[in-house]
Amino acid sequence: MIPLLDWGKFTTDRAGFLAELGQAVRGPGFFLLENHTVSEALRARIFEMADAFFSQPIAEKRALSILNTPHYRGWAAEGDESLDDSSAMVDRKESFNIGFDLAPDDPRVLRGEPFRGVNVWPRIDGFRETALAYFDAALALGVDIHRAFAADLGLEAEHFTPAFKDPLAALRLLNYPPGSGAQNEIGAGAHTDYGAITLLMTDGEAGLQVKPRGGDWTDVPHVSGAYVVNIGDCLMRWTNDIYVSTPHRVLPPKRQRRSVAFFVEAHPDTVVAALPGTGEPKYPPVRAADYLQSRLDATYAPKAAP
């Protein structure tokens, strides 16, 4: 049900690739992407850095808490987030978030613009350099994938490219502890992603499920080295519901589960409005930053006790 696409075909067999891509983004809203441009060495290195961070004492991680910054950078402990706002359950995972990297004296930082803060970094050799290298490589792949979307939608090749300059994109390292067997546990609650697309690399441990429209929860297969790519709500709005953003969740794993998610988001001032040729708009135009803020407010809002 979740198709496997070969990125190399976008160059060697564009028509064939676009036919497969078009079915994936209009159907399940998820696909696996192999033969992409993010190197195996860099992918291995980012997992090493994630392991090094999450193995630190709680006090070291808490010093970098995401709750201490208005710009959503740093460590989120188990219970800090709840992705399913219809449920009283909170997510049983920890994460570390990196945003677009800016210097402390950048004018956008000094003005206090939303999402324009500085990253916080653990004292781990090579962590910052690896994270920023991965951020750049994943963003470049995400922009390239949007060139394929432009071709699929009959737009100019670079239609989306300017929107991803100095973006809201975020790199998130994730660590899920083994489930305890309790019925009220969830690794990550059912949700749709907020941005344009998500590029997810996992360690192969099962747990990720999707729920296509009219279907049941289905396991997402693992293909070593392939990204799990899914459409986010912002791109669904942008395409006027031509592309599909699909609910997904992570069940408590049997063993520790690690993943690296890269959320491809537009520049804060990008106005997301129905693309040309997509018909009568189903949504009002919205700034990318305003839309993201509305979704994050719900994610980090305290839940009432069940």
Angular region, 241: left φ>0, alpha ψ -120 to 50, beta rest: left
Q: Is residue 212 situated within a structural domain?
A: yes
CATH number at residue 291: 2.60.120.330
Return the sign of the alpha-carbon dihedral for residues 124, 126, 7, 195: positive
CA atoms within 13 A on the CB side of 287: 9
Domain count, the chain: 1
Q: How far apart are CA 152 and CA 146, in angstroms?
A: 9
191 - beta bridge partners? 248
Range of the domain at 194: 32-138+167-297
pLDDT digits (tens, 9 = 90+) for 162-216: 999 999 999 999 999 998 877 778 899 999 999 999 999 999 999 999 999 888 9
CB 9 within 8 A of CB 228: no
Q: Is residue 191 situated within a structural domain?
A: yes
Choose among 39, 41, 26, 31: nearest CA to 10: 31
Whether pLDDT at 84 is above 70? no
Write down the pTM of the prediction: 0.94
pLDDT digits (tens, 9 = 90+) for 238-286: 999 999 999 999 999 999 999 999 999 999 999 999 999 999 999 999 9
Q: How confident is the model at residue 79 (pLDDT cuts 50, 70, 90)?
A: confident
Q: Is residue 121 situated within a structural domain?
A: yes
Compute the C-alpha angle 245/117/176, nearest 5°: 50
CB 97 within 8 A of CB 66: yes
Tokens of 49: 């850095």
Q: Is residue 89 situated within a structural domain?
A: yes
Q: Is residue 157 situated within a structural domain?
A: no
Mean pLDDT of the chain: 93
Whether pLDDT at 306 is above 50? no
Q: Is residue 151 situated within a structural domain?
A: no
Q: Is residue 11 situated within a structural domain?
A: no
Q: How confident is the model at residue 106 (pLDDT cuts 50, 70, 90)?
A: very high
